[in-house]
Structure 1
Amino acid sequence: MSTSAVNPSEHSEGADQVPIKAIPLRHPGRWVAALVVIVLFALFAYGAATNPAFAWDTYGRYLFDSRIGTGVGLTVQLTVYSMIIAVVLGVVVAVMRLSPNPVLRSAAWVYLWVFRGTPIYVQLVFWGLLPSIYKEVALGIPFSVQFATFNLQTLSNAFVFAVIGLALNEAAYMAEIVRAGVNSVGEGQVEASTALGMSWSQTMRRTVLPQAMRVIIPPTGNELISLLKTTSLVVAVPFSGDLYGRARDISGANFEPVPLLLVASTWYLVITSVLMVGQYFLERHYSKGVSRTLTNRQLQALADAQGGKPLMAPRSSEGGAM
C-alpha cells in the first residue's frame, strides 16, 4: 500500500488561507447573574412605584416647576464659573510647585495644605462671614498710598462668595491633577525643548502641558462632576438659590421633603449625564495614537490594500509526517 508524499510548503500555503472558525465559550453564570440583577431591579422599581411615601404626584408637579428651573440654571452657573477659575488657578499653583524657585514651591505647598486639609463646608462658612471678619479691603502700597477701598459689609452678593469659595477649594485639587499630568511626560521631551533653546516656561507651555492633557482630562472630568454636587453645600455661605436650596425651600413650605429630594436628584443626574458625555468625547480626542489596537476603519484600509481580501489569522501547523 503506497501513500503520496505531502509537500510541507504546499500544506503551509493552503493553511494560511483558511479562516479560523471561532467558537465562543458559553458562560451560563453570566445569564444567571444578569437574571438576578434584573429581578432585584424590578422588585425595587415596583416597591418604589407603589410606595405612597414617595408622593409621585408631587414629584411630577414640581419636576418642571419654574423655581426648580431657576435653581438648575444657577447650579450650572456656579459649577461653570467655579471650574473655570479653579482650572486657571490650579495650573498656576501646579507650575509654582514644579518651579525651581523654593519660595514659589513653598507658597504653593501652603496653599494646598490649607485648602485640602479643611472641609469645604467650613471654608464656605468662612466666606459667608467674610464681611464680618474684614470690614473693608484696601488696594495700594502698604502703609502709604491706597488706590481703592472696598467696603465688604455693603457687598452682600452671596453668589460671588459661593463661586470664590468653591473655586479656591477646587483649585487645590486641580493643581495636583495638573502636576501629575506634567510628571507623566517623559524627561526626554523637556531635554529636547531645552536643547532647542526654550526657557522653562516655554517648555511647560509648548511641550509639556499639551502632552499632559491625556492624563489631566479624565480626573478633571471627575472633579467637575464632583463640583456640581458640591454646589449643594453653598447654603453655608448662605446662598439658597441653587437647585438643592430651591428644593429645600419648597419642601419646607409643603412639608413633603421626599418628592422634592427626588426632583433635585433627577436634575443632578441629568446634568451629570451631559457632563459624562462631554468627558467621554474629550478623553477620546486626547487619547488618539495611544492605543495600538486597530480600529475597524484601519482594518478595512489594510484589507483594501490587499486587493479586497479579508484579513485572516494564519493557522499554525503542528507535528510532522507519519
Structure 2
Amino acid sequence: MFVIFGATGHAGRLTAIRLREAGLPVRAVVRRADQAKELAAIGCEIAFADLMDPASVAKAIEGAHAVQMICPVPSGHADPEHAMRTMIDVAAQALRANAPQHVLAISDYGAELDMNTGITRLFHYLEQQFSASVPRLTLLRSAEHMHNWSRVIPVALATGMLPSLHHPLTKRFPSVAAQDVGALAATLLREGAPVTATRIVSIESMVRVSPMDVARMLQEEAGREIVARELPRDQWLPVLTKGGLSAKHASLVVDLYDAHNAGHIDVEADVTERRFGATALAEVLAPLVRQAVRDAQ
C-alpha cells in the first residue's frame, strides 16, 4: 500500500494518479470528506488525517509499505513555523513508531543549509527529523514552485507591473511545475527504497527563468504590457502582511528571499541526483492568467 499525504495538492494528486495508472494500491490521505471524491473515483482508498493529530497520522500509515509525506507551510496560521514544526514532529513520531519500508519526503532546494533561510529552514528541520526516524528515506528536493506566481498575477494584470522579491530582475533562478514533482515522486516510489539510508534527488525545470522572463510570458498571454519591477526591500513586510500573511509568516518569506538573492538557495552540488521536469513555465502561467481574468470579471 502506497500512502500519499497531501493527496489533494498539485504534487500529491499527481503522485496518486500515476500510481493508480500503474495499477498500484493507493491510500490517499485528506483532511475533509469533500476532498475525497476525485481520488476515490480513480480507485484510491481514502484516509482522513490531520498532521497536527498524532493518532490520525498513525492510523493513516498502518499497513503501508511506502509513504509520501508532504508537510506544507500552513497558510493563514499566525505562527506557521511553530505549526509546521509540530506537523514534522507528529509525522516523524508516527513513522518512527511504525516505520514503512520506504518514506519519500517532499523537501526544498537549500534544505541542507543550517542557517537562516526562512521557510527553507523548516525543510532543514524536516530532513533532520525524518533522517533520524526512518531507516530508508528519499528526500525529493524541489525548486520554487511555478504556481507561486499566482499570488501576484492579479496585481500584474491590474497594474501592468509584476512585483518581484527576486533581485535583480535579470537573475535566472530554478523553478518547477508541481505536477512534475508529483510525477517524479511516483517514479521514485515505484523504484522502491534506497540501498543507502538516505537518497537525495532534486528536481527543477529544464530552463531557469528570471522575473523579466515571467513578465514577458504574462504579457504574451494577457495581451497587454506587463513589466517586472523589483519590490523594494523595505516594502516586503508591509506588502506581504497587507496581502493576508501573518507577521511571522511574512518574516519567513522575507528571510527566504534574502537567502535566494544572496545566492544560497540552489541545488546542492555533487550530492543530489538531478532530475528535470518537462513542464515549461508558460504552460503553468497560461491557465493562471485565464483564471485571474475570470476572477476579475
Q: TM-score, normalised by structure 2?
A: 0.21
Higher fraction of strand: 2
Higher fraction of helix: 1
Q: Which has the higher contact order (CA 8 A, sep 6+)?
A: 1
Q: TM-score, normalised by structure 1?
A: 0.19
Max Rg structure: 1
